[in-house]
A and B are shown apart, each in its own frame.
Chain A
């Protein structure tokens, strides 16, 4: 069953969170993400949930991590400057294996940059922005419907892998309006609880330990310090640190293919566009206009962990063209995985590539 809505992307994101069972939002106003907070402020109290506007983004993410330990699905939403402030606590969520969802409606940076214009300049920051070695999951919506559906996925992945999951949107998908058919029910993957008698940070074979929810009598100590399987600080043992940090990274990296989510168009193509997020829309227009099987499109809905096996779907590819709203962040990641030339089509300033601009790139390979 579905119902038809005409929503803005940010509204769809908030509705996706509510449909996924998110009942805690802590955040701080920032353009162009604010509509998500505003929508949650209206809806959450009516659903018995909690909305709180914190004093800054550092406190916003701190509050959702705290809420997550009580078993609630929790979320914050921000944009570049707020995202930068969150970095330390993102590392804390990684180290403590706290499920939470962080929405970044990207705008032009660095610094205050272009508050009302779109960008994809934080793709590397979401992967590497906090200190130390770690791995996370990042999704990239290209439509209002995906602002809804990928937000639902973000909560499921966060609970399944006990990791912060990023919805890396941008000002364009955040503010555009589309008619969408919203599902009445969404699939929900629950956190697996910690079985009694098992140490709180003793991981199952998938690398993910059971979740010892606060208030249930587990008596668990959660720390951002390097900790052993009991959760106790153990910050000077090279072995404990190596094992913990390797596991935190591997539980995500080893599930790369299971987490992967992408769309393949014209797999026998010689020239293949690779996109994530809003630039996919221009490529879709170009493919629609050209109607040529020699031009393919790999649209990534999951950017991190990078789904390198998706590149193998294009067995005849002679080149990859990567339009992105930055100076070439994911293009470099693609270069690491393929032998074919990777043609970067960076664009900054806040506007999407035009179909004409992409057709101009294609001309060189006719």
Chain B
């Protein structure tokens, strides 16, 4: 078994643009699910609307491609009705942080046993490149033509504050680390949130000085800083370079969780 056994072959090729990072995150997730030993008939993928949310359509298991921003609310119903099912939610920055923000907060508070994988491309890709809540301050998009004037949302900080049991962030460059983080999340009862920063050459990169997809990947490689390193620099009173993406595992805890099957 490998990740490719989980792909719905008759649905390929997929709709993702050349150079898109979402495929990497799908592969990492399916590898993690496969390594975790989950059975296909006991696994459900749920998603909202947007590029990220097309992912379940390419996976052979039961899947629910829902309405914009609401996948976690749908997944809550599936999980509580049948706690024996394993559930992964695929979402994006617009789906999760803008229209679906409240559902995300409450799922973290409930600490419901879901694994939420957010493909954060910092833009509304499907609709052609509008600014999102994670578009960096100053970045260009079709709705921030003079540069975004709003600070970007730190989704991991939000998940931690709201109560999720497991929170980590990696990028589509960090394939091994991302796979391991998702696998860890799958095994932890309660809400696991894994944010995967991804390149979007079509609608983010080309407007923000990343001429090629590889340029944005290179940026994520050189601008990622391990959480531990950042903490060490802070302790030593040393400056932290601007625009760094903090990566790593932020939280792993064992708060009471909802929707967990208790062995008799």
Contacts and interface: CB of A to CB of B under 8 A. Distances in A.
A215 B81 CA distance: 11
Contacts of A215: 41-42, 44, 62, 82, 84-85
A232 B64 CA distance: 11
Contacts, number: 120
Interface residues of A, number: 39
Interface in B32-88: 40-42, 44, 46, 54, 56-57, 60-67, 70, 73-82, 84-85
A247 B106 CA distance: 37
A197 interface: no
Q: Which interface residue of A24, A72, A221 has the most chain B CB atoms within 10 A?
A: A221
B65 A62 contact: no
B144 interface: no
A65 B8 contact: no
B41 A216 contact: yes
Interface string B1-15: 000000010010000
Contacts of A24: 77, 80-81
B78 A58 contact: no
Given A215-B85, A224-B67, A63 B62 contact: no
Contacts of B54: 233
A17 interface: no
A188 B162 CA distance: 42
Interface residues of B, number: 35
A102 to B, nearest CB: 14
Given A214-B85, A219-B40, A63 B80 contact: yes
B77 A92 contact: no
Contact of A59 (B44, B56, B65, B76): B76
A224 B66 contact: yes
B166 to A, nearest CB: 21
A222 B67 contact: no
Contacts of A70: 78, 81-82, 85
B64 A66 contact: yes
Interface in A76-134: 88-89, 92
B73 A59 contact: yes
A52 B76 contact: yes
B65 to A, nearest CB: 4
B57 A221 contact: yes
Contacts of B41: 215-217, 219
Contacts of B40: 217, 219
B74 A66 contact: yes
A214 B62 contact: yes
Q: Which interface residue of B46, B75, B77, B79 has the most chain A CB atoms within 10 A?
A: B77
B80 A224 contact: no
A74 B78 CA distance: 11
**Leading 6 A-B pairs by shortest Cβ distance:** A66-B77, A63-B77, A62-B73, A59-B73, A67-B81, A223-B65
Contacts of B11: 232
A70 B41 CA distance: 12
A7 interface: no
A168 B63 CA distance: 31
B46 A66 contact: yes
A312 to B, nearest CB: 40
Contacts of A224: 65-67
Contact of B67 (A52, A63, A92, A218): A92
B27 interface: no
5 contacts: A59-B70, A59-B106, A65-B74, A65-B77, A215-B82
Contacts of B84: 215
Main secondary structure of the interface of B (DSSP, over half): helix
A214 B46 CA distance: 12
A37 interface: no
B55 to A, nearest CB: 11
A221 B65 contact: yes
Interface string A1-33: 000000000000000000000011010000000
B152 to A, nearest CB: 24
A310 interface: no
A72 B77 CA distance: 10
Given A54-B76, A59-B70, A59-B103, A222 B82 contact: no
B74 A62 contact: yes
Contacts of A261: none
B102 interface: yes
Contacts of A92: 66-67
B57 A66 contact: no
A270 interface: no
B56 A221 contact: yes
A89 B71 CA distance: 11
B44 to A, nearest CB: 6
Contact of B103 (A52, A55, A217, A221): A55
Interface in A115-173: none
Given A24-B80, A70-B82, A214-B44, A221 B8 contact: yes
A95 B86 CA distance: 25
B19 to A, nearest CB: 22
A66 B81 contact: yes
Contacts of A64: 77
